[in-house]
Amino acid sequence: MQRVQGLGRSGAAGSAAPPVPELPAVPPMTAPELREVYRLMSSVRRLDEAAVAWQRQGILPAYAPLLGQEAAQVGSAFAVDRERDFLFPTYREAGVARTLGVDMVEYMSTHRATWHGGLWDAAEHRLAPIQAVVAGSVLHAVGWAHGQRLAAASPGDPQDPVGGLGVAVAYLGDGASSQGDVHEAMNIAAVFAAPVVFFVQNNGWAISVPTERQVAGGSVAARGAGYGMPALRIDGNDAEAVVSATRRALAYARAGRGPVIVEAVTYRRGPHSTADDPGRYRTLDDERRDAGADPLERLRARLLGEGLANEAFVAECDAAAAAEAEAVREGVLALGPRPGAEMFDLVFAEPTEELLRQKAQWRKESEHG
């Protein structure tokens, strides 16, 4: 029989790779925190269901529902430091945006086909624009995070983080994890020890292809070992598990120890988008079997069961969520087309002569049209 012998870093036969570091522990969530997360999840659930209805009503051309991922999205965004962290979403992160306090009319503008990426100020809200090239922004998170290290190494930098680094959070899914950019991002982040949390929502499906046909080995978190990077694989439908795991990952990155993967296992209860037809690739029985308990109902049951909130609180959250969704609906309806001149004016910081020429031509043609 052939004998295969491994080599360690020292080159000495048989020595093992260094162990992946442990993440720090964090205290359990307080009752007010759990109630706040529930309030946000209620709001996100209502808004998400409303957005699907708006698409059916012709108000939105398309929408990508997040039904079932409320705990993963609200929990992870709830854990960040909104003063110094920066988040990079894909196109299914309405729950993240809502938790960060982004104006949801500005968020929905992209689904309203009013502006690609959304109308909010990315720098001010510390949330990058919506990203449909799903792995594209994962690298941006790494670069932003590396910038934190450079700033920390430059005394006098006005953005020099005090009391720990700002952390970038890169959102990605099981589908995006197949992209080469995700490997490059994780490798570069680990080589640079960049303070970034790769927050993977493994929702079981990349449009029509299930995780087992997408992710070799079945887990994105398992790849962390190869990068020497700590990784947590958690129940993404348990809000407290998400908050705690994200907090542990953030604390590790903030201390300058490097990147972390958090893989939140959840379930995409709805279609990929309002243009999708899940009946072609999974049955209702499959959905009932695989979805598990609803994350919002789980948290409600816990709050009520442990006496952390009462029925009146739940009713109040529901009423507030309904009122908010209605206000967003009115705002979305009022969103008209942007001025056409912006097509030309916003391409460059300093517009080119050629573009100004084309703009003048467009204006002339459109006025005569």
Q: Does 227 sit near other proteins (CB under 8 A)?
A: no
Q: What are phi and psi for residue 200, nearest 5 degrees?
A: -95, 120
Q: Does 308 sit near other proteins (CB under 8 A)?
A: no
Contact pick of 116, 213, 289, 364 for other proteins (by CB under 8 A): 116
Residue type, 302: R
Q: Where are the alpha helices (DSSP H) in 193-254?
A: 224-227, 239-254
Q: Does 122 sit near other proteins (CB under 8 A)?
A: yes
Site for other proteins in 77-96 (CB under 8 A): 86
Contact pick of 59, 104, 142, 200 for other proteins (by CB under 8 A): 142
Q: Does 145 sit near other proteins (CB under 8 A)?
A: yes
Site for other proteins in 268-287 (CB under 8 A): none
Structure tokens at 228: 């020497």
Q: Does 151 sit near other proteins (CB under 8 A)?
A: yes
The smaller minimum CB distance to other proteins, of residues 56 and 116, is found at 116
Of residues 77, 182, 161, the one with CA closest to residue 126: 77
- β-strand partners of 242: none
Contact pick of 6, 10, 16, 124 for other proteins (by CB under 8 A): 124
User: Are the C-beta atoms of residues 41 and 300 closer than 8 Å to each other?
Assistant: no
Contact pick of 34, 64, 185, 299 for other proteins (by CB under 8 A): 185
Residue 112 to residue 106: CA distance in whole angstroms: 10
Q: How far is CA 11 from the centre of its chain?
A: 40
- Name the minimum Å distance from CB 72 to other proteins: 23
Residue listed under structure tokens 């992160």:
93
Residue 242 to residue 37: CA distance in whole angstroms: 11
* Footprint on this chain of other proteins (rule: CB under 8 A): 86, 115-117, 119, 121-124, 128-129, 133, 136-148, 150-151, 153-154, 159, 168, 180-181, 184-185, 187-188, 191, 342, 346-350, 352-355
